[in-house]
Amino acid sequence: MTRVEQVLELARERGIIQAKEAEALGIHRQHLKRLEQQGRLIRSARGIYTFADAPITERHTLVEVVKRVPQGVICLLSALNFHELTTQAPFEVWLAIPQKARAPKEDLLPLRIVRMSGQALESGIEKHFVEGVRVPVYSPAKTVVDCFKFRSKVGLDVALEALRECLQKKCCTVDEIWQYAKICRMQNVIRPYLEALE
């Protein structure tokens, strides 16, 4: 099997291939560039290539983002959209990264970076498989609390819609929301809205 065939086979299996994954197999980045020029691979982000004939889902961008920024977690509007708790269709992928992490320099993927730390960053993460790749997404309850915490970025109307939808669709309980409100120090902000819905 030639190097080009190895690259194509790997891309066909995974749908997405990173340049560093190819290099780990002894395949030079030049082979990826050549396949991109031939139209057999599509460069979707820095160091990330998609097999041209791969079955791409509507959540493909999330896979690309997770491959590009492995320490990130899908959050806020993107998490709401993932859990089908909003009418919003964000054109950027909202991604939580550690407070001190360097933001990725990205020209192809539309990213909206949000910084978190400690338990606010680490709690409420669910792992979902999208196109065979593990994608970390905040749970519905954690996402609702984050919307209140970052209401200046997403809007209070979005946070309220998320809270109503989450409880109506029974994606989580009031207790779960309250648990994350404590972790994120949002009890005083979210209490009146929870009381109004009870």
Biggest CA-to-CA distance, the chain = 65
| CA–CA distances in Å: residue 47 to residues 5, 29, 34, 38, 106 | 19, 9, 14, 17, 11
Per-residue pLDDT 10s for the chain (198 aa) are 687 788 788 777 777 888 888 888 788 888 888 888 888 888 877 788 888 777 666 788 898 898 888 899 999 999 999 999 988 788 899 999 999 998 887 666 789 999 999 999 999 999 999 887 899 999 999 999 999 999 999 999 999 999 999 999 999 999 999 999 999 999 999 999 998 876
β-pairing verdict for 111-116 and 93-98: parallel
Strand-pair partners of 130: 133
- Give the pLDDT of residue 106: 67
By C-alpha distance, which of 27, 53, 55, 20 is closest to 39? 53
Rounded distance between C-alpha atoms, residue 166 and residue 4, angstroms: 47
In the β-sheet with 41-45, what is the strand arrangement from edge to edge? 16-18, 48-51, 41-45
193 Cβ neighbours under 8 A, 6+ residues apart: 148, 160, 163
- Give the pLDDT of residue 64: 86
Rounded distance between C-alpha atoms, residue 7 and residue 21, angstroms: 10
- Give the pLDDT of residue 139: 97
